[in-house]
Amino acid sequence: MIDANAYLGNWPFRKLRYTTHIALLDKMDALGIEKAVVSSLENVFYKDQLAGNRHLHAEVHHHALPLIPPLTITPTVPCWEEDLAICVRECGMRVMRLHPNYHQFALDSTAGTAVLEAARAHDFVVILTTGLEDTRHHHPLIKVPDVPGDQIAAAVSAYPDVRFLVAAANYSGITAIRSQCTSTQNLHFEISRVQGPVGDIEKLCGTIGADRVLLGTNLPLHVPEAATLAIEHAKITAAERRMIVQGNADRLFGLE
């Protein structure tokens, strides 16, 4: 299995398990997850994201971990283009993680357009993160709404040659984004925040296609068994299950 949406690092608002690479790998082994796409959780709040990206890359490569480290970038900070170039040149990063809500830029703004143009130029896979946890759990002084679905749909439609993974959308968000897109062959979703309705995985396979759905856990913010058990017990074919837990991620991230 491949986890398409996970993190390493600490979260400032509560103590989490599985925040180190050792703890994360132990949990992955227990769940039968062989590889994971793992971003820096601390880069959600770091001002110097290059430092966070470098640390993530060094940790993954020093220990030869079975992890794919995306770069996290904010296109409103000075010299972000240079930071991105360093991540490509020095670290070989080929996946980009965006947090438009936490980093306060709209996907259709000048900054949003610039970072998506950069993604297209570098042939990145772009992970568009709608949110990180249920907004009801947010600290009262830091309420961060999810990224609007219509912005995501517009970005996906405007860049049909960019591969997008929408991360941490719930079931209604996924179906709404999918219905608003004019381009869908470049669009994929992971299921870490899909928690209903009954038969949610089956319904997603029927509406958006099993070839567009990926396993994601949102570790360490979420309990990963919620995602793995949902797929295990879904009434889908063996071929669909294989696509969701590995085949689609292999194709999207070039792991085949």
Q: What's the rounded mean pLDDT across residues 1-30?
A: 96
Question: What span, in angstroms and rounded, lies between the C-alpha atoms of 35 and 152?
Answer: 27
pLDDT tens digits for range 231-255: 999 999 999 999 999 999 999 999 9
| Cα 83 to Cα 14: distance, rounded to the nearest angstrom | 29
The residue-averaged pLDDT of 198-222 equals: 97
Query: Model pTM?
Result: 0.96
For the chain, count helices (H), then strands (E).
10, 9
Q: What is the pLDDT of residues 202-213, one digit of tens each?
A: 999 999 999 999
pLDDT tier at 64, thresholds 50, 70, 90: confident
Residue 143 has pLDDT above 80, yes or no: yes
Q: Is the pLDDT of residue 187 over 90?
A: yes
Structurally, the chain folds into a number of domains equal to 1
CA distance 99 to 129: 5
* Confidence at 199, pLDDT banded by 50, 70, 90: very high
Query: Which domain does 95 fall in, by range?
Result: 2-253
Burial class (CB in 10 A: 0-12, 13-18, 19+), 162: buried
pLDDT-based confidence at residue 201 (cuts at 50, 70, 90): very high
Q: What are phi and psi of 39, to 5 degrees?
A: -100, 170
Q: Mean pLDDT of all residues in the chain? A: 96
> Has residue 42 got a pLDDT over 90?
yes
pLDDT at 63 over 90: no
Q: Is the peptide bond before 197 cis (omega within 30 degrees of 0)?
A: yes
Residue 173, pLDDT > 80, answer yes
| Predicted local confidence at residue 92, as pLDDT | 96
CATH of the domain at 108: 3.20.20.140
Q: Where are the alpha helices (DSSP H) in the chain?
A: 21-31, 49-62, 80-91, 110-122, 149-158, 171-180, 200-204, 225-233, 238-242, 248-253
- Lowest mean pLDDT segment, chosen from 31-35, 131-135, 167-171: 131-135
pLDDT score of 256 more than 80? no
Helix axes 110-122, 80-91, angle to 10 degrees: 20
Q: What is the pLDDT of residue 177?
A: 98
Q: What does each C-alpha distance from 41 to 67, 231, 237, 242 come to in angstroms?
A: 14, 25, 34, 28
49-62 vs 80-91: helix crossing angle, rounded to 10: 10
Tell me, what's the pLDDT at 179?
Answer: 96
Calculate mean pLDDT across residues 51-67: 93
